[in-house]
Chains A and B, each alone.
Chain A
């Protein structure tokens, strides 16, 4: 089955800095890669996703890049703000039957 590795497990940055979270996957057939943000005690919220037919996608301060050859994808957050502090999860799936495999999560802390 699919195996998703996520790094780092904890990321601490100063407000205004950029944050990068990286994930690798093992199943070359995976073609859908969502990123979720989960605040303490709340549900995971989809913040951005990318499909295998594109290499990069951007939404304001958030961007995701995908390297299918190397089987890795990354989340980039620019100009970080304290409200960006949360746990971020990457996931990979083949779509269709849609049983995504989640990474272990990255706890992002943005210091004011």
Chain B
């Protein structure tokens, strides 16, 4: 299947700093990528839809000024957590949709574990 990578896999930072997470589709182009947040033992919560060449679409309750999303190319989307606080500590997962044979399948990145001290 298609491969989605994410970098870094984990990060520890001080409160108040900003953290950038990259999501790449390695062997296919993705006009749309998704960013999820997952707390321990909970489901995937969609944060935003990242659209190549246009602004991201944020889900209700997600602060767009705090979680900056940039989809600079058909293979790269970035999520920047600005002025991170301990409550932002979570597992962040991106996904991208691959189209083959007229059918779309969603593939997930390996996730980034963020710990804000």
Q: Which residues of A contact B (CB under 8 A)?
A: 32, 34, 36, 41-46, 49, 51, 89, 95-96, 98-100, 102-105, 107
Given contacts A89-B43, A105-B43, A98 and B109 within 8 Å (CB-CB): no
List 27 A-B pairs, Cβ < 8 Å: A32-B104, A36-B108, A41-B91, A41-B111, A41-B113, A42-B110, A42-B111, A43-B93, A43-B109, A43-B110, A44-B44, A44-B93, A44-B108, A45-B108, A46-B106, A51-B103, A89-B44, A95-B104, A96-B104, A98-B97, A98-B104, A99-B34, A99-B49, A100-B106, A103-B43, A105-B42, A107-B41
- B107 interface neighbour in A42, A46, A89, A99, Cβ under 8 Å: A46
Q: Which residues of B contact A (CB under 8 A)?
A: 1, 32, 34, 41-44, 46, 49, 91, 93, 97, 103-111, 113
Chain A residues, Cβ within 8 Å of B44: 44, 89, 102
Q: Are B34 and A43 in contact (CB under 8 A)?
A: no
Q: Are A46 and B105 in contact (CB under 8 A)?
A: yes
How many cross-chain pairs have Cβ atoms below 8 Å apart between A and B?
45
